[in-house]
Amino acid sequence: QVRLVESGGGSVQARGSLRLSCVISGYTYSPRCMAWFRQAPGKEREWVAALYVHTYTTSSYYTDSVKGRFTISQDTAKNTLYLKMNSLKPEDTAMYHCAADGQLDWDQCSRAIRPTDYRDWGQGTQVTVSP
């Protein structure tokens, strides 16, 4: 059974930092395409960042509002996806979800920014940034 379990959320002041983790399990073959989305109250779920795992390297993609502040990465040995968030702003406040899909290739992953592009999801971890 595929499971994605997020952790690391919390409450911080603006300009603070957090690192989110997502432990991924249950796949026969580890998914190459993984992503972070976020959803603020009353808003649609928004794509934040994605990572594609090649044989010896990775490719990462970010929405414009987090470029230069957030970093997506993974630890293969721990089956864990991370999102390091620096210089947090109040507008980053949201529930953050990790997502994965074992069927997306590199090209598809680079364009997968809709929630419906991903098959598997975690329950989310809340991030609250105060002014």
Q: State the average pLDDT for the chain.
A: 96
For residues 69-82, give the mean pLDDT: 96
Residues with Cβ < 8 Å from 83, sequence gap 6 or more?
Answer: 19, 20, 22, 36, 48, 49, 70, 71, 72, 96, 98
Q: What percent of the chain has a predicted confidence (pLDDT) above 90?
A: 96
3-state secondary structure of 3: strand
For residues 2-29, give the mean pLDDT: 97
For residues 77-103, give the mean pLDDT: 97
Laid out side by side, the sheet with 80-85 consists of: 3-7, 18-25, 80-85, 70-75
Confidence of residue 84 (pLDDT cuts 50, 70, 90): very high
Written as six digits, the tokens of 93 are: 């406040």
Residue 128: the pLDDT is 98
Residue 113: the pLDDT is 96
Residue 14: the pLDDT is 98
Specify the pairing of strand 125-130 against strand 10-13. Answer: parallel
Cα–Cα distance measured from residue 10 to residue 21, given in angstroms and rounded to the nearest whole number: 12
Residue 41: the pLDDT is 92
Residue 64: the pLDDT is 97
- Cβ proximity of 77 and 69 under 8 Å: no
Q: What percent of the chain has a predicted confidence (pLDDT) above 70?
A: 100
